Structure 1
Amino acid sequence: MDSGLDRASPSSRIRRALWPGLWIPVVILLVGSALSLSVAQRIASQTEALAQQHYHLQHRTLVHLVLDHLYRHGNDVSLLKVPLAKAMPKHLSLRIDTLERHTKKPLLKLGSIQAPLTRQALRSELDIDGNRSMVTTMPDAQLLKAPAQNLRWLVLISGMALTLLAFVLSLYLCWRYQRQRTLASSHHKDLKTQNQKIANLNVEKLALRQALNDSENRSRDLINLTGNLIAELDDQGQIEYISALAADMFRQAPSDLDQKPFQQLVVLSDQQRFTECLEAARADQDITQADLTLAGENSEQPVPVTLRLKALTDPVRGLIGFRLSAQIKTRRAD
């Protein structure tokens, strides 16, 4: 049993060491190399064929030039040297021989080449007024072979460079994928622990929400049981919250009083005192007190109260509002 585990261990280590999708870079390298070789060879063949056609065209052009000058100058080959020298392309030699007598000395020879291609030489026979001559052109390797060879290497190097770039990029993607798999496996292990923690936090959250709701209900009940009117104002003195006692005192729902100035609930004769109370709370940052009379638009009769007011401040924004309590005064029996 131990030996079986030992045999399995190296293979499992090898599988873990190999990145997933590693066959893709290998395929890219092989296919890219094969395509680069094939395209380079095909383009080189086409380039060489075009060079051959161009060479044939140059030969015919030179032959026509020789014919034209011989016709105009009465077969005087010596006059051909200057115009042919101007028209001669690079990497090409030209030779004119007479066919009237057997001699190896040419009538005219132009151009010098370093690597002549004897098998690619072209010959054209001329017969002008009974004078027969042979025009021979011979190309250099730089004219026919070099362009194709240079283009072959250019395409091959470019193709291999692109192949290697794609190979490296695919290897990098495989490495990234393997890294992501490793991280995903690690995250998956942590996910179960985190889910359990989240479940515990949700239970605690429900318990805290229930406790908060209970506290809110308790605070609301205590406010209602005190018999005092409780309100919160913004920094301009407008109502942001008012307790349910407002419905009994002013015959208006608390929601109808939202965003209304609290000063409108104070009788006209006491509004100046209410304003002074606000200013004192804003300046002293302490609880201020004033005896006022409250009466809403729908109130049946004014209600005298003892108003306690406290300014609310924030370290950043400064004054943010006021909190007030209005205790109804009990009337003495006559």
Structure 2
Amino acid sequence: MDSDLSDIPDPGPRRPVLWPGLWGPAVILVCGVILSLLTARLASDMAHQLAHQHYQALHQSLVSQVVVHLARQSQADDQLQELRDTLATGLHDGISLRIDTLERHTKKPLIQLGSARHPAGNDALRTELQTNGRQWMVTTWPDSRLLASPARRMGWLVGASGGMITAVATLLALALCRQAARKDDNGRRLAGLNRIADQRITNLQVEKNVLRQALNDSESRSRDLVALSGAIVSELDEQGQIGFVSAQVADVLGLAPSDLINRPFSELLAEPDRERFYQCLAAARQETTLARVDVNLLHRSAERTVPAVVRVMVLKDPIHGVTGFRLSALNIANGYNG
């Protein structure tokens, strides 16, 4: 009978399980990595092409400068020196330049400039020139890092950016999965608690029905005992007014119980016995024990009285003190000498 919803046990921590929807972050991660690599490769190729186009533009610019100088100058050493100085001033870092004359059968160049430490021979550009009846060969070749560095930097930049975006998206998806997992776990816990609470409520309902049946049995037993005793049983308030009276009053005094509610019990006594009844109530209040007095009860017929023995017991409340009295009046007309 001590069931209480407050003592519902906690189901405790559940066994670790995989978060729901983990395929989402996995797809984002795989697709993000693949797209980042492909984009980085395409960006690297584009950067390489742009670097190569830039190198071609630089080559054409150098060739134009050579054409201008050779068109108005001879092959004198001092004039070649002036051309060398002009080209050295405008030569881009990482590019080497060589000028040969096709009229000589020699491997020694007329002019050779440049700072390419790792020349890329496969990317060398050559241009033949004819000025003033002479043939020239202008050759340039870039440093391998001049073409590879922009492509490498662009590839790393795009790849790192894609990787960061993929990582952020994956983390967000994982956070959503974790939140969904917590909601599912809380839902399962609440469902478990609801099942336990429902069981407890069912048990409480059963206990309530048992208590109600026991109370009904107790009331029925009390009514039966009152009926079998043949006595008038009544409850009075602190002023002695009737709050309840048993049905035996109709058999003994010929009065209906409903007509006596809220009436002083002393009205049912013969005038000479009323003072002794009040003294009995005072004794019961003072001694808090069972008090007894012999009285004559007034029958509905005014000319008739019924001798009875009245027993009084005080009703006390721990907070308010005396709240009333409970009494029984037993007819002694049949020779009772209690």
Tell me the TM-score normalized by structure 2. 0.51
2:164 equivalent in structure 1: 161
Q: Is the 8 A contact 2:20 2:180 kept in 1?
A: yes
Structure 2 gaps of 5+ residues are 1-13, 206-338
CA distance in 2 between counterparts of 1:42 and 1:184 reads 48
Paired residue for 1:107?
110
Q: Show CA shifts across 1:248-298 (max 9, x none).
A: xxxxxxxxxxxxxxxxxxxxxxxxxxxxxxxxxxxxxxxxxxxxxxxxxxx
Decide which structure has the larger Cα Rg and report it.
2
Tell me how far apart the structure 2 counterparts of residues 74 and 50 of structure 1 sit (CA, whole Å). Answer: 36
Letter in 1 for 2:120: L
1:97 to 82, 100, 108: 100
1:142 to 141, 145, 162: 145
1:173 maps onto 2:169 in alignment = no
On the 8 A contact 2:29/2:167 being kept in 1, the answer is: yes
Q: Deviations over 1:205-251 (max 9, x none)?
A: xxxxxxxxxxxxxxxxxxxxxxxxxxxxxxxxxxxxxxxxxxxxxxx
Fraction of identical pairs, as percent: 42
Q: Deviations over 1:93-126 (max 9, x none)?
A: 0000111111111101111211111010001111
Contact 2:93 2:115 in 1 (8 A): no
**Corresponding residue for residue 56 of structure 1:** 56
- Aligned position for 1:41: 41
Aligned to 2:132: 129
Letter in 1 for 2:83: L
C-alpha distance in 2 between matches for 1:189 and 1:99? 95
1:24, distance to aligned residue in structure 2 (A): 0.7
Q: CA deviation at 1:178?
A: 0.5
* 1:182-261 equivalences in 2 (<5 Å): 182-190=185-193, 193=197
C-alpha contact (below 8 Å) 2:97/2:141 kept by paired residues: yes
Unaligned segments of structure 1, at least 5 residues: 1-12, 201-334
For the pair 1:25 / 2:49, whether they are aligned, the reply is no
Bigger relative contact order (CA 8 A; separation at least 6): 2
Structure 2 residue identity aligned to 1:65:
Q
Deviation string, structure 1 residues 118-169 (Cα, Å, up to 9, x no partner): 0100011111112211100001112111110111112112212221222222
Cα distance in structure 1, aligned partners of 2:30 and 2:115: 45
Q: 2:122 aligns with which of 119, 122, 128?
A: 119
Residue-by-residue CA offset, 1:55-98 (whole Å, 9 max, x unaligned): 11111110000111112223432221121111111110000011
Runs of 4+ in structure 1 over 6 Å off: none
Aligned residue type for 1:182: D
2-structure distance, mates of 1:165, 1:146: 28
TM-score in terms of structure 1 length: 0.52
